[in-house]
């Protein structure tokens, strides 16, 4: 009974969520679009002419935001967006989508082949693992995804490139931040207004690779 009540409460909160309504009005596939938009504004990250890789892209709202900022006069896409996920994603105009798990070598090779030697200006990741409810196990999964995103970014970003990745406060978070700080010139934490107050999620924005 308690579970059913909680479910109804969640559905009601979701329906009444102003960001959910705004996403529907603007044609975004998820409210998460506003999280990325705010981070891009706060960090003054320019998108036109850039190469962007969206890790864990489905349902596609982050790719939608990037595409909006890439479209120039006459509706021409000025830049390149490569999106990747283990789940199918409905097409977004101008976005190159790859179905696969970027933890697998074969998928990484496919992504590298698609880049054709080009460096990436921005890597974005809104990925989150399926949570088990076991704190230590979940923290390890979250940390692993952040490490994988960082590893990809270090291999493919330009010297002054940017990585935006979702993390969660809790066990292992400080280690993730320290790892980022070892490898990037500037690392900041962002909690966008569109993030729910009860959520432990926070976004790390890392830019400028050290030692290049």
The answer to whether 85 is annotated as binding is yes
DSSP character string of 16-37: H-HHHHHHHHHT-SSTHHHHHH
How confident is the model over 121-141, as a mean pLDDT? 82
C-alpha triplet 165, 58, 102: angle, nearest 5°: 60
Phi-psi region of 172 (alpha: psi -120 to 50; beta: other; left: phi over 0): left
- Cite the active site residues: 166
If one counts every other C-beta atom within 10 angstroms of the C-beta of residue 118, the result is 12
Each residue's pLDDT tens digit, 141-198:
889 999 999 999 999 999 999 999 999 888 889 999 999 999 999 999 999 999 888 8
Q: Which residues are 188's β-sheet partners?
A: 205
The answer to whether 10 is annotated as binding is no
pTM, entire model = 0.89
Each residue's pLDDT tens digit, 35-93:
999 999 999 999 999 999 999 999 999 999 999 999 987 889 999 999 999 999 999 99
User: Percent of the chain beyond pLDDT 70?
Assistant: 90
Using 50, 70 and 90 to split pLDDT, how confident is the model at 130? confident
Residue 31 has pLDDT above 50, yes or no: yes
Whole-number pLDDT of residue 176: 95
The answer to whether 133 is annotated as binding is no
């Amino acid at each position: 009974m308690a579970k059913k009540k909680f479910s109804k409460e969640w559905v009601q909160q979701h329906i009444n969520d102003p960001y959910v309504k705004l996403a529907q009005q603007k044609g975004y596939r998820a409210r998460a679009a506003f999280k990325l938009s705010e981070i891009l504004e706060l960090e003054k990250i320019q998108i036109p002419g850039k190469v962007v890789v969206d890790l864990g892209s489905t349902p596609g709202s982050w790719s939608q935001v990037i595409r909006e900022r890439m479209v120039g006069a006459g509706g021409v896409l000025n830049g390149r967006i490569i999106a990747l996920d283990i789940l199918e994603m409905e097409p977004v105009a101008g976005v190159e989508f790859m179905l696969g798990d970027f933890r697998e070598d074969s998928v990484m090779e496919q992504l590298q082949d698609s880049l054709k030697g080009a460096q990436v200006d921005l890597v974005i990741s809104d990925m989150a693992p399926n949570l088990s409810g076991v704190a230590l196990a979940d923290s390890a999964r979250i940390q692993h995804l952040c490490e994988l995103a960082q590893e990809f970014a270090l291999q493919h970003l330009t010297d002054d490139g940017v990585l935006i990745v979702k993390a969660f406060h809790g066990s292992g978070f400080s280690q993730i931040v320290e790892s980022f700080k070892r490898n990037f010139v500037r690392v900041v934490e962002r909690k966008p207004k569109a993030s729910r107050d009860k959520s432990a999620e926070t976004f790390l924005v890392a830019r400028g690779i050290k030692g290049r």
